[in-house]
Each structure stands twice: as C-alpha cells, then as structure tokens.
C-alpha cells in the first residue's frame, strides 16, 4: 500500500510542479523551442535580431493556442473525442482521410470549385509561409553566400544544400514568401468578393469575426510584397517604415490567431479524429432513428451524446420513451414543432425536401 502511494506521488510530481495543464504545456513548448534554437543556431551564434519581434509574436501565439486548446479539451465532449480519436488514429483509412482533409480539401470541393480554390490558396499560402518563416525566426534555418557566388542552405546547423545564387532553387528560396503572399491575396480577394456578392453570406457575416481576419491576412501579404517592391525598384526607399508596418501586422495577426476565426487553421488536423470516429463506430453499429428508423449516427456516438448531456445535468429523455439524441435531425425538428402545435408531426412519414442534401 505504501509502495503504491509513493509511486502515485512520483508520477504526479511533474504535474505538481506547475499551476495548471496550460502552464506545463507552455513551459515545455518554450523549452523545446529554445533547445531547437540552441542547436539550430550553433549555440546562438547565428541569431537574426531583425526577426526578434516575430519570435516574440510566435511564442505568444503558441501560448494562446495552448490556452484555447486546453480550455476546449477540458470539456467532457472534447475529452471523449480526443481519447477515442487518438485510439483510432492508426486506422487503415487515416492516410486517405488526412490527405482529403488537410491536402486536397475534398470536403470543400463538394461545395463548388470556387470555394475550393479560395481555400486552397489561403490554406496553403498560410501553411507554406509558416514553414518558411518559423525556421528562419528561431534560427533553425539560415543562408550563407560563398565568394564564388554559391548559396549555402543551413538547417539545424548542418549544411544541407549548396546551389548557384542565380539558379532556380535559390530564386524559389528568395521569393518563397512572395509566392505565398500572392496566393493569400488572391484567395482573400475571392472570399471578399463572394461574401459581398452573395446575399446569404452577407446576411450571416459580421465585420469583427468574418471580415477582420481576412483584412489582417491581406495587410500582412500586401506589406510583405511592398517590401520586395521597394527593395527591387525603389532601391530601398521607404523600406524601414514599411518593414515596421509589416512586422507589427504579422505580430498582431499571430497574437489574434488563436482567439478568432483563423483558429480553425491550427485546429484543422483534428477533423481527421472526427472522420475516424464517425466511420469506425458507424461500421460497428449504426443507430436507427427511434421514429423513422433511418440510420443517422452510430450507437457509440448516440450513447456518448446522452452520457455527456447527463454529465452536464441536461436531460432530454421524453415521455414517448426516447431521448432526443436518438432522433435524426429531421425527426428532431418535427418533434420540436409538435411541442408547439400539439400535433405529432414527427410521426408523419413525409421527408423534408432537403433532408438528404449534401455540401
């Protein structure tokens, strides 16, 4: 008994060193970044102080992301979702699901090629720019120039490639952020056009939640391209002032990102968990609707919903002998109408016109 107690205390000693899960996650993340930067910069001998502001903004972004993630992950439904998502991560269909949700965006293709194109441009523009910027900011990657005009790419302190300064690889390296900026600008303009043109979209949008994030992405991209333009065609005139505007726009966007609509970008990989959860348990035991008999979710998902609602002291068990979570969406809507009309509309065997609509 004493051995078990001492083992428990030892296991919990690490957690006891921190005030909360957020504090522990933040500490370990920053420590990991420092260790990688120490290795990548060869004991901090290759640090670009011009990128210091971006580094601070990135650390604040990581803290905000962990705060948002942990606050969400502590909720009862999220705990079940994450636990079962990790358990099902090694399904045979996971690589295909990952490709469809994170690379090809097939789930958006069903909504139309226009919306798919705008998401591809913004999504990959942001992701690729992060893959270029973060290694530079933390010193994991930097470049040197030899006297003979050859360009050295250093990654984690190791020289991984030497290319001609005039070659295509070097040109792509110089202009990587310019290319991603053009992608983001094009995608944001497509989104703004659709949201201003489509009456339904206009009715559902708000400036602070829907338009401000797009404007921030646009500001970051435009000011970044302006720096390149000033350097190439204006011989650097106005570059110091524009550099400050660009740096502050990036820092503010990074700090805002975990708390606004753009948070779905780092949260997007969790969609693989959701797809695996639905498919796996639907294959095991589909759940028929208690009214119409159509299969709409899995038995596991229905039971999880009922248990989570019960954990939060929310009961939807009805006198007819079923729980609302055991009804498909059309029957659930018709049942709610029945509570006002007094007529059992949920028992009428008529399907809604758009009941099985996709997209």
Closest CA to 224 of 184, 169, 265, 170: 184
| pLDDT tens-place string over residues 150-192 | 888 888 878 888 888 778 888 888 888 999 999 999 999 999 9
Residue with tokens 């991603």: 180
207 and 340 within one domain: no
Question: Among residues 266, 297, 315, which one ends one of the domains?
Answer: 266
**b vs e for 113-123, b when ≥16 Cβ sit within 10 Å of the residue's Cβ?**
eebbbbbbbbb
N-to-C CA span, the chain? 58
| pLDDT tens-place string over residues 108-124 | 888 889 999 999 999 99
Write the CATH number for 122.
Answer: 1.20.950
Rounded Cα distance between 301 and 270, Å, is 17
125 and 188 within one domain: yes
Q: Is residue 179 part of a domain?
A: yes
Predicted confidence (pLDDT) at residue 26 exceeds the cutoff of 80: no
> Confidence band (pLDDT; 50, 70, 90) for 351?
low
113 and 26 within one domain: yes
> Confidence band (pLDDT; 50, 70, 90) for 348?
low
What is residue 225's predicted lDDT score, i.e. its pLDDT?
A: 93
Who's near 151: CB < 8 A, 6+ residues apart?
Answer: 143, 144, 145, 162, 163, 164, 165, 167, 170, 173
Domain span at residue 313?
Answer: 285-347
| pLDDT tens-place string over residues 193-221 | 988 887 777 777 888 888 889 999 999 99
Predicted confidence (pLDDT) at residue 125 exceeds the cutoff of 80: yes
Apex CA 127: angle with CA 122 and CA 130, to 5°?
A: 125
Who's near 32: CB < 8 A, 6+ residues apart?
Answer: none
What is residue 8's predicted lDDT score, i.e. its pLDDT?
A: 47
> Confidence band (pLDDT; 50, 70, 90) for 53?
confident
What is residue 215's predicted lDDT score, i.e. its pLDDT?
A: 92
What is residue 117's predicted lDDT score, i.e. its pLDDT?
A: 94
234 and 188 within one domain: yes
Find residue 286's DSSP bridge partners: 298
> Confidence band (pLDDT; 50, 70, 90) for 47?
confident
Rounded Cα distance between 348 and 325, Å, is 19
Closest CA to 181 of 130, 132, 143, 129: 129
What is residue 357's predicted lDDT score, i.e. its pLDDT?
A: 46
Predicted confidence (pLDDT) at residue 328 exceeds the cutoff of 50: yes
313 and 239 within one domain: no
> Confidence band (pLDDT; 50, 70, 90) for 359?
very low
**Quick check: helix, strand or coil at residue 354?**
coil
Q: How many domains does the chain have?
A: 2
108 and 37 within one domain: yes
What is residue 345's predicted lDDT score, i.e. its pLDDT?
A: 63
Rg (CA), the chain: 26
Q: What is the DSSP string of 78-92?
A: HHHHHHHHHHTTT-T
Q: Is residue 147 part of a domain?
A: no
Q: Is residue 155 part of a domain?
A: no
Residue of 76 and 118 predicted with greater confidence: 118
Q: What is the pTM of this model?
A: 0.78
> Confidence band (pLDDT; 50, 70, 90) for 352?
low
Give Dmax over CA atoms of the chain in angstroms. 87
Find residue 263's DSSP bridge partners: none
What is residue 188's predicted lDDT score, i.e. its pLDDT?
A: 94
DSSP code of 323? B
Predicted confidence (pLDDT) at residue 350 exceeds the cutoff of 70: no
What is residue 182's predicted lDDT score, i.e. its pLDDT?
A: 95
């Amino acid at each position: 008994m004493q051995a078990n107690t001492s083992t428990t205390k030892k296991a919990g000693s690490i957690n006891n060193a921190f005030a909360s899960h957020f504090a522990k996650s933040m500490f370990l993340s920053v420590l990991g970044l420092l260790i990688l930067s120490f290795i990548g910069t060869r004991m901090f001998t290759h640090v670009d102080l011009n990128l210091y502001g971006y580094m601070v903004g990135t650390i604040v972004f990581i803290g905000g992301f962990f705060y948002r993630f942990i606050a969400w992950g502590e909720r009862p439904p999220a705990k079940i979702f994450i636990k079962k998502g990790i358990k099902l991560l090694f399904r045979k269909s996971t690589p295909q699901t990952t490709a469809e949700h994170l690379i090809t965006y097939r789930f958006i293709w069903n909504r139309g090629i226009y919306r798919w194109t705008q998401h591809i441009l913004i999504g990959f523009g942001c992701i690729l720019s992060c893959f270029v910027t973060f290694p530079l900011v933390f010193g994991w990657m930097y470049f040197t120039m030899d006297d003979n005009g050859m360009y050295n790419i250093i990654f984690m302190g190791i020289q991984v490639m030497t290319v001609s300064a005039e070659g295509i690889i070097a040109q792509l390296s110089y202009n990587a952020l310019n290319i991603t900026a053009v992608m983001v600008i094009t995608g944001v303009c497509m989104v703004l056009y659709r949201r201003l043109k489509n009456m339904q979209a206009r009715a559902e949008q708000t400036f602070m939640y829907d338009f401000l994030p797009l404007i921030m992405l646009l500001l970051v991209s435009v000011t970044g391209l302006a720096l390149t333009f000033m350097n190439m065609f204006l011989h650097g005139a106005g570059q110091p002032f524009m550099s400050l505007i660009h740096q502050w726009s990036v820092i503010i966007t990074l700090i805002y990102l975990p708390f606004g609509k753009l948070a779905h970008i780092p949260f997007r990989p969790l969609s693989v968990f959701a797809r695996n959860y639905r498919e796996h348990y639907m294959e095991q035991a589909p759940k028929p609707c208690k009214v119409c008999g159509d299969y709409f979710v899995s038995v596991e998902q229905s039971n999880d919903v009922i248990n989570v609602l019960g954990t939060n002291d929310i009961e939807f068990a009805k006198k007819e002998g079923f729980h609302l979570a055991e009804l498909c969406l059309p029957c659930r809507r018709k049942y709610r109408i029945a509570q006002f009309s007094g007529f059992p509309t949920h028992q009428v065997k008529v399907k809604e016109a758009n009941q099985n609509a996709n997209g």
